[in-house]
Each structure stands twice: as structure tokens, then as C-alpha cells.
Amino acid sequence: MRKKVIIIGGSSGIGKATAERFAREGWQVMVGAPDIEATQQVVDNLEGDGHIAIEVDITSDAQIEHLRNQAAEQFTDFHTLINCAGISRSVPLLDPDFEKWDHLLQVMLYGTVKVCRALIPLLQDGGRIINITSIHHDRVAYGSSAYGMAKAALTQLTRALAVELAPRNILTNAIAPGFINTPMSVKEDGKNEIETEWFQNNYINNDHLPLKRAGRPEEVAGVAWFLASPDASYMTGSVLEVNGGLTVTF
């Protein structure tokens, strides 16, 4: 029987690459993201047929309910849920605009929690949940308090779900990418941080990044594929670092 995967945040970057990998492996894919045009374009270009694009802003309870209803009608008893929704924005904790700071948690933490609450009842026993966290789940950069807090909480959510869902043999793991060259690498000033002198000097020239390059989205997608495969059948509550060796140099 053809397996099914739901990917939240699959309109670009790691989520898009993950959708492409699962489709290439013969799975039916549902991709959810706020930009329905970009999401539909991803789905239209996937290998195979029967894939579904759905517009969902995971900060909206109404849209999450719509996602649940669509999954119940067209994707019930699916095998894998991948939470990949993310935004990258530098907002200091004391920024006057609290809503701007809080929005990162609303998307990456509370949005993910609400997606899990909505979709886990539809997930088949023995299924998988894969959360995309970040190296920032245990490190800090200026202006990244909300981002880091959301990712740290997402790691703890992964571990909590591993315990709570073990009776159903649902395996829950996380992936913590480092520098991956995606649209999120382009900051508010329009510059891709991977291409800056700062990145070259700090991470390449000074050997803080052993592999001396940013990762590619498909390199994270491959790890997600592994976690959904039978080869990961005795893994739950784990966080896999995909960062080119970055965290071993600190």
C-alpha cells in the first residue's frame, strides 16, 4: 500500500526538498504552507500523482481545522508527519514590537503544537513524526532569542511526544540543521548570509565549519527520509545534527 506523508512548511527550502524526496520514493505527499501558489507549484512538479497542496497558516485555528478536515477526508491513516514550518528574523527580546518577537513562537512552537494536536489522531499506529529544529536549539546568536526558544521547545516537544506516543509505536525524532542554503538564508537586508564575508571568514577561513560549505536542502531531506524508513525503527526522541561538523568545533 502506498504510504502517505504530510509536510507542513513544504513550499520552499528543506520542506520542498523533503517533498521531492518522498515523492521520488513513491509516497503520496500532502504539502501545507501559507503561500498556496508556491505550494501548488511544488506539488505540480513532484514525481508521481495524487499529491495535494493545501493552504495553511498554522497560526490560524480555522486553517488548522481545515487542514485536519482535508487530511481526514483525503489522507486518513497517513504514515508520517513532518513539521518544517519556520521563519528567520532577528528580533531582540527588548524590541518595542512584542508581537513581532512573539510571532516566531506562534509559528514555530505553538503552530507546530496545534498541528500535532490536529493530525496525530489521524496518524497510523507505527507512524513517524519528524520535527525540523535547528542548531539554535542549544546555542544563542544576537537577536535570536525567540527563534532559539522556539527551536529548543520544539526539541523538548519531540522528546515528550516520543514518550506519550510510544504506546502506539509512533516514533518521534527531530533534525537540527546548521547552515543550509535555502530562501531563509536571505536576511531582511536582502543578503544571503551564506555568501557574506562574515560567513566566509568565521566559518570557512577560521575552520569553525569542518566541511567548509553550507548544506543543501536535499541533504536534510535525506535524513528525514531515513527517519521515516524501516531502518530507523528503534529510534525515538532523538535529535540528529546535520551541520557539516559545526557544533563539534565549539
- 234 is annotated as an active-site residue: no
Closest CA to 88 of 168, 12, 21, 29: 12
The residues, any chain, with a CB within 8 Å of residue 55's CB and separated by 6 or more, are 32, 33, 34, 35, 36, 39, 63
Q: Which three cell numbers stand for residue 103?
A: 510571532
Give dist(CA 115, CA 52) in Å, integer. Answer: 17
Q: Which residues pair with 127 in a beta bridge?
A: none
Question: Alpha carbon 36 to chain centroid distance?
Answer: 18
**Under 8 Å between Cβ of 19 and 32:** no
Edge-to-edge strand ranges of the sheet holding 123-132: 52-55, 28-33, 4-8, 78-83, 123-132, 171-177, 239-242
Kindly name the residue from 110, 147, 203, 234 that is annotated as catalytic: 147
**Catalytic positions:** 147
